[in-house]
Structure 1
Amino acid sequence: MDNEQPNNPLHGVKLMDILEYLTQKYTWEELANQVNINCFKSNPSVKSSLIFLRKTPWAREKVERLYLHSIRD
């Protein structure tokens, strides 16, 4: 069985890599404006964001969409 997912642009991309990319491209304030989640507003850090996003699928989906939009530009 082939585990490759050619139609999934997030296949093989770790959440940590997504957050590192976004925090290099945007400030925390800009991220909070684009994705309205508290972990980007209140004492933001990559570590706290990872913890929250791993437990919160709807927020992770929003961050992944922002990432996909950002890499297309």
Structure 2
Amino acid sequence: MNQEQPQPNNPLHGITLERIVKELHDYYGWDQMAYHININCFANNPTLKSSLKFLRKTDWARKKVEKLYLRMLDEVNGYQ
């Protein structure tokens, strides 16, 4: 039986990649996302669908997006 273990110290636990990208887009917009992470799926004709497709295939890019998301959460919560 493979039950999911609680991860109280992982702020990304239970958050989907789609939610991360949507929240980043709402906060930064595509232009600022492309500024912070230089990848074409944010810079050239960006859409949620194309970004998710690329990020699901590209581990290094997904890690950068997750890092930016954590930084955004810190900014929102006043931990700059």
TM-score, normalised by the number of residues in structure 2: 0.86
Gaps of 5+ in 1: none
Which residue of structure 1 aligns with residue 78 of structure 2?
A: none
Which residue of structure 1 aligns with residue 41 of structure 2?
A: 39
1:1-73 counterparts in 2 under 5 A? 3-73=5-75
Measured in 2, the distance between the counterparts of 1:38 and 1:15 equals: 17
Gaps of 5+ in 2: 76-80
- Give the fraction of aligned pairs with identical amino acids, expressed as a percent: 53
Query: Which of the pair has more CA radius of gyration?
Result: 2
- Residue 13 of structure 2 aligns to a residue whose secondary structure is coil
**Structure 1 residue 2: Cα displacement:** 6.0
Measured in 2, the distance between the counterparts of 1:27 and 1:62 equals: 16
Structure 1 runs of 4+ with >4 Å offset: none
TM-score, normalised by the number of residues in structure 1: 0.94
- Residue 35 of structure 2 aligns to a residue whose secondary structure is helix
